[in-house]
Amino acid sequence: MKVVVTGAAGMIGSNLVLGLNRLGIDDIVAVDNLTQGPKFTNLVEARIADYFDKTVFYERFARGDFGKVDVVFHQGACSDTMEHDGRYMLDTNYRASKDLLDACLASGTRLLYASSAATYGGSSAFREEPANEKPLNVYGYSKLLFDQVVRRHLPAARSQVAGFRYFNVYGPREGHKGRMASVAFHHFNQFREHGTVKLFGDYGGYAAGEQERDFVWVDDVVAVNLWFLQHPLASGLFNLGSGRAQPFNDVAHATVNACRALKGEAPLSLADQVTRGLVQYIPFPEALVGKYQCHTQADLTALRATGCDVAFADVATGVDRYVRWLAAQAP
Catalytic, 139? Answer yes
Q: Name the active-site residue from 2, 54, 98, 177.
A: 177
Q: Name the active-site residue from 120, 139, 166, 322.
A: 139
Looking at the DSSP assignment, which residues form a beta bridge with residue 239? 165
d(CA 315, CA 232): 30
Q: How far is CA 183 from CA 82, 125, 164, 202, 274, in A?
A: 16, 23, 21, 17, 18
- 150 neighbors 160 (Cβ within 8 angstroms): no
Catalytic, 177? Answer yes
In three-state secondary structure terms, 169 is strand
Looking at the DSSP assignment, which residues form a beta bridge with residue 169? 216
d(CA 8, CA 42): 9
* Torsion of the alpha carbons at 308, 70, 33 and 165, rounded to the nearest 10: -20
d(CA 114, CA 92): 13
- Residue 6: which H helix or E strand, with range? strand 3-6
- 126 neighbors 89 (Cβ within 8 angstroms): no
The number of CA neighbours under 13 Å toward the Cβ of 172 is 22
- Residues near 298 by Cβ (< 8 Å), separated by ≥ 6? 117, 126, 165, 167, 214, 216, 239, 240, 241, 242, 243
d(CA 104, CA 111): 7
- Length of the chain counted residue by residue: 331
Kindly report the number of other CB atoms within 10 A of residue 270's CB atom.
18
In three-state secondary structure terms, 235 is coil
Q: Which residues are catalytic?
A: 139, 177
